A = this chain, B = another copy of it.
Amino acid sequence: MLPFKTLIETDKSLKLPVYQQISNRLIGLIQEGLLKPGSFLPGSRVLAEHLALHRKTVIAAYDELISQDWLEAVPRKGVMVAANLPVIRPRTYRKTVTPYGEEAAFAFHRIPTLPVPTPPPATGTMLVLNDGFPDARLAPLNEWVRECRSVIENPRYHKLLMYGKAMGSEALREAMVKYLTDTRGLSISADHIMITRGAQMAIYLAAAMIIRKDDYVIVGSPNYFYADLCFEQLGARLLYVPVDEEGIDVDAVEKLCSSKKIKMLYLITHHHHPTTVTLSAARRMKLLAIIRKYNLPVIEDDYDYDFHYSSAPILPLASADHGGNVIYIGSFTKSLGLSIRIGFMIAPASFIRGSASLRGLMDLRGDNLSEQALANLLADGTIDRHLKKSNKIYKERRDLLCYLLQTRLGDAVQFTIPAGGMAVWVRFSQKISLVKLAEKARARGLRIASGEQYHYGAASQNGLRLGFASLNNKELTEAVKILEKLVREELKA
């Protein structure tokens, strides 16, 4: 008889019933080749004694394995390991099988990762000047939870649940028609709207609908790095076009269009990432003419449209006459404090249908409950009130950060006050190493990026995005104080 006492360990404190612990272990012994097909197990009384357990527990384990075909009850002889199991060659004995400790034996594809060491997350009371995140303390999360409760208390909801669509909830799409018409001058119906998990999913889906291997795609230099990586993953060859204080260079775009088959243009019309510039009116007009002339597919990523402080934001390209070529992308994620990620794509109806099919293969559909709750918050004006309130606060924080940067670091930095968004694009004196600066800041309780991600595919401007939205006035003042001290040290060194 095998030394079952040492081979089978049981632990009454586990959630898994003891009889199942035994049956699982017996399966392991069969799989490891220690219990061979056709061999007999000890009687239940014997095994129970060995394991110091009640006989009923062992019988339950045997019954379980008989019902699962691992064991067979042979009348008058006892319980046998099923004879029709394939003979397994004994393998090196390992007490616990931990297959995931091994690397996969097959070769899989290595997906490009962001070629940037992100600084470790902030700990404890550490201050963060981030890439441009909202202040979750201001987000209408209480209202969101309230609406979730009201949705699940509606008895009709339980029926609606079963019919989620890859395009998103009808209620939310209808609420968005009104919202987007009011705020962006878009002339659309629900057929032109698809709800996505966040803006990034909309970018991926739209790009996957357009790009095939080795296609040329025009992006800004610099550009939002996650968009670049996404297009490269889909097989695109990126062509970089300069971004200056008026936005992307549209003459350079036209030059490329007239010399090559360009499959797509990606651009951020408001508060470009990372530089925060907004495309000028003149360039918009010119770009619209180019789009129509070349039937140029465009992804207009307008992730930060709702956060604008200087004047009303310029209407998106999507609201002008582009012949259905502009795929417009936006997001509610920042309004929801990054807790719940909901974005959207606006496009011609057939493009939306295709994107929804693709999304179905990737992710079936979104969360009904979250989408319904957001629809309620849009309809009852909560989102609108939140935007009014937070825009006022973010404007003050922008002004404070810019004032502090100007007065404390004026000789070491260059920046333009951004018209909107949640970060200032700050270029540092070449004497300052941002990697070193980030490291030293961390030691003083301030987390900033080290800047490499902002020149993916572009020349370094020795720049950093310094997010102002998530810190209050006291925290911003404290953060710049730390920064000033370190910059002074660096300049002296």
Contacts and interface: CB of A to CB of B under 8 A. Distances in A.
Given A162-B128, A367-B341, A108 B23 contact: no
A83 to B, nearest CB: 9
A70 B280 CA distance: 9
A209 B321 contact: no
A259 interface: no
A207 to B, nearest CB: 10
A6 interface: no
A367 B340 contact: yes
Contact of A187 (B32, B100, B103, B355): B100
Interface in A245-303: 280-282, 285-286, 288-289, 295-297
A216 to B, nearest CB: 14
Nearest to A292: B105
A133 B163 CA distance: 11
A318 interface: yes
B351 A104 contact: yes
Nearest to A182: B15
A350 B310 CA distance: 47
B182 A340 contact: no
A85 B201 contact: no
A370 interface: yes
Interface residues of A, number: 135
Nearest to A366: B341
Given A97-B320, A109-B210, A311-B68, A159 B347 contact: no
Contacts of A286: 86
A362 B63 CA distance: 47
Interface in A327-381: 337-341, 346-351, 353-355, 357-358, 360-370
Contacts of A24: 185, 315, 319
B361 A204 contact: yes
Given A67-B311, A311-B64, A159 B108 contact: no
3 A-B pairs with least C-beta separation: A339-B369, A102-B324, A136-B158
29 contacts: A24-B185, A30-B285, A31-B285, A31-B320, A32-B321, A68-B312, A69-B281, A98-B188, A99-B325, A100-B349, A103-B350, A105-B324, A106-B210, A109-B208, A109-B210, A111-B357, A113-B353, A121-B163, A122-B159, A133-B162, A152-B339, A158-B337, A200-B360, A200-B362, A226-B364, A339-B367, A339-B369, A362-B362, A367-B370
